[in-house]
Copies of this chain bind each other. A is one copy, B any other.
Amino acid sequence: MTDDKNTMEDLVSLCKRRGFVYPASEIYGGINGFWDFGPLGVQLKNNIRDHWWKSMVECTPAGPDGQPLQIVGLDSAIIQNPKTWEASGHVEGFNDPMVDCRECKTRFRVDKIATVTFSKDGDEILSTHIETESASTAFEDAIASLNSKQRKLLKKAGNDVKTSARFLNDTGDGSAVACPLCGGELTEPKMFNLMFETFVGAVRNDDARAYLRPETAQGIFLNYKNVLDTMRVKVPFGVAQIGKAFRNEITPRNFVFRSREFEQMEMEFFCHPDESGRWYEFWKQHRMEWWKSLGISEQNLRFREHGKEELAHYSDACVDIEYRYPFTAPDFGELEGIAHRGCFDLSAHQDYSKIKMEYFDHGGKEADDSRYIPHVIEPASGLTRGTLVLLCEAYTPDPDRPSGVYMKFDPKFAPIKAGILPLVARDGMPEKAVGLYMDLRKDFMVELDIKQNIGKRYARQDEIGTPFCFTIDGQTGEDGTVTVRYRDSLQQERINIDGVKKFLAEKL
């Protein structure tokens, strides 16, 4: 556990140091919940984005019958008519219950604070109030919250000490839990809407109030009729979108995992109600395979079916694809949700807009079957979270190399595909390196790095996860070969400089 916490700290530090992710507005002390992607982070993120788009829209998956599915793209505005969010239920329902401390005024989510009690033989030894992610992290956080006197008490109690955690949202009793920071009394829970508000136009009144979208999905539902009327699609078909979404989280945390501004990759798949169960299963399996195809190891991925009680207001069934993040380990955290949204959204928009959302199936054999509101299966994943997962997955400590760590990206997703390095900055080597660079850069994202000790340059390429380095040395002038250095094995071999392009094309 401590190892995993350190992993996260090290990763955040590497991300900053090597240009993957910077805290937003750092020169002004930052802004809680916002992050900027640096030069390498944006390449990594774009690689995931393009792969999703290609596999979802440009070269759609084959359906159960082996035929390619019909899925088209969309890019809707972040700000929509506010009626959208009334219909979707977000104005009423998109709330987190929260409490404030009456003393120190800090605000907490009720499902994130707990009282942990240590007891032995039925007698309470001591209890502590903590802020924690989940039941699986409560014990560790409780231990960390103890002062030295409490630690001694616990030590003195010896073995067989039992621990129990009561979360505020489980007790339903505000007085059962006190402020984790100052021990102060907490207010009654209050709902807090997670949508960012703004005003459109010159006047600031209720009519002008608008919201930053908390999900990209509604932009798709708004355009369901447009797509149906203007594209040559028939049910079943999908509409896919990648874009920013915003949630005014009370407690942004865990690096870019829970941030207030993030990118989603969502697809709404419209199908016949009777076939929705089948499509739900299809997408569930398909999306898991997709994440595995990114090089994420199977043991770090799992499904988690939502219980009835935790389903969102719009959802008939939902399964998460979870990843074992360093900050949740040994537990898992959400990466993608595949939701069976039923006809909730289209029906709601039909009610609010009075625009018919029915689909008329010209091929329907029976009258009953030919006119219906499609059901929707939604694989909704985070591009920001996907990027975080590839960063976590790639992070590989290795005390035997100078950098102490390397980023083991699948070459397809590595921000830089190859480093081109003259061994020294003289004897004609830089010129040859420039020549190779100029030849490769049209086809691959490559980097030329001429100056500095070669060991330091290799160390940097390890830390940014460059799978191959081509080194121009004295022998290059003699026999036209360069060294290929493999990031993962550290193995080196010589290949002809003219064969480098082919080598890269085969590896990528």
* Nearest Cβ on chain B to A250's Cβ, whole angstroms: 6
Given A19-B230, A28-B353, A31-B200, are A36 and B79 also a contact pair (CB < 8 Å)? Answer: no
Bound-complex Cα distance A210 to B201 (A): 17
- The answer for the CA separation of A354 and B83 in the assembled complex, in Å, is 44
Contacts of A212 in B (CB 8 A): 198, 212
Asked if A45 lies at the interface with its beta carbon under 8 angstroms from chain B, I say yes
- Would you call A37 an interface residue if the criterion is a C-beta within 8 Å of the partner chain's C-beta atoms? yes
Q: Does A244 reach chain B (CB closer than 8 Å)?
A: yes
- Using a CB–CB cutoff of 8 Å, the interface residues on chain A facing chain B are 16-19, 22, 24-39, 41-43, 45-46, 53, 58-59, 67-68, 72-81, 83-84, 98, 107, 192, 196-202, 210, 212, 219, 222-223, 225-227, 230-232, 239, 244, 246, 248, 250, 260-261, 349, 352-353, 355, 434, 437-438, 441-442, 445, 449, 460
Q: A28-B353, A80-B25 are in contact. Are A38 and B226 (CB under 8 A)?
A: yes
**Residue contact A248 to B29, C-beta cutoff 8 Å:** no
Sorted nearest first, the 10 A-B pairs with minimum C-beta distance are A25-B81, A39-B72, A28-B81, A36-B76, A37-B75, A27-B353, A34-B77, A19-B230, A42-B75, A31-B81
Extra contacts besides A19-B230, A19-B231, A196-B200 (4): CB < 8 Å: A16-B226, A25-B222, A42-B74, A197-B198
- Distance A150 CA – B337 CA, assembled complex (angstroms): 64
Give, as a whole number of angstroms, the nearest-CB distance from A234 to chain B. 10
Check A24–B80 contact: CB distance below 8 A: yes
B441, A58: Cβ atoms closer than 8 Å: yes
Contact between A198 and B198 (Cβ–Cβ < 8 Å)? Answer: yes
A469 CB to closest chain B CB (Å) equals 14
Min CB distance A22 to B, Å, is 5
User: Which residues of chain B have C-beta atoms less than 8 A from A24's C-beta?
Assistant: 76-77, 79-81, 222
Would you list 23 pairs from A and B whose C-beta atoms are within 8 A, ordered by A residue?
A18-B230, A19-B227, A22-B223, A24-B77, A25-B84, A27-B222, A27-B355, A31-B79, A31-B80, A31-B200, A36-B219, A36-B222, A37-B74, A38-B230, A58-B445, A59-B441, A67-B434, A79-B261, A107-B202, A196-B199, A200-B248, A202-B250, A232-B449
Contacts of A45 in B (CB 8 A): 75
Whether B77 and A231, one on each chain, are in contact in the complex, defined by CB atoms closer than 8 angstroms, is: no
Chain B nearest CB from A99 CB (Å) reads 11
If the complex has contacts A39-B73, A84-B28, A197-B199, are A78 and B226 also in contact, measured as CB distance less than 8 A? Answer: no
Residues of B within 8 A of A352 (CB): 28
A212 to B244, CA, bound (A): 13
Asked if A260 meets B107 with Cβ closer than 8 Å, knowing A22-B226, A226-B22, the reply is no
Do residues B37 and A76 form an inter-chain contact, with CB atoms below 8 A? yes
Most buried by B among A16, A41, A46: A46
Among A18, A35, A45, A201, residue most surrounded by chain B Cβ atoms (within 10 Å)? A201
Interface-centre pick from A34, A107, A227 (highest chain B CB count, 10 A) = A34
- Determine the distance from Cα of A505 to Cα of B81 in the docked complex, in whole angstroms: 43
Q: Min CB distance, A303 to chain B, in Å?
A: 29
State whether A78 touches B244 (Cβ < 8 A): yes
Q: Is the CB of B226 within 8 A of A34?
A: no
Name which residue of chain B comes closest to A96, CB basis: B202
**Quick check: B36 and A75 within 8 Å, CB to CB?**
yes
Query: Which residue of chain B lies nearest to A445 when distances are taken between CB atoms in the complex?
Result: B58
- Asked if A77 contacts B250 (CB within 8 A), the reply is no
CA distance A352 to B28 in the complex (A): 8
Nearest CB on B from A289, distance (A):
18
Q: How far is the CA of A141 from the CA of B411 in the complex (A)?
A: 59
Q: Are A34 and B261 in contact (CB under 8 A)?
A: no
Chain B hits for A37, CB < 8 A: 74-76
Contact A41 B80 (CB under 8 A): no
The answer for the CA separation of A22 and B239 in the assembled complex, in Å, is 14
Q: Report chain B residues within 8 Å CB of A72.
A: 19, 39
Considering the chains assembled together, what is the distance between the CA atoms of A222 and B38 in angstroms? 12
Residues in B with CB closer than 8 Å to A19 are 72, 226-227, 230-231
Contacts of A98 in B (CB 8 A): 202
Most chain B beta carbons < 10 A, residue from A67, A79, A239, A434: A79
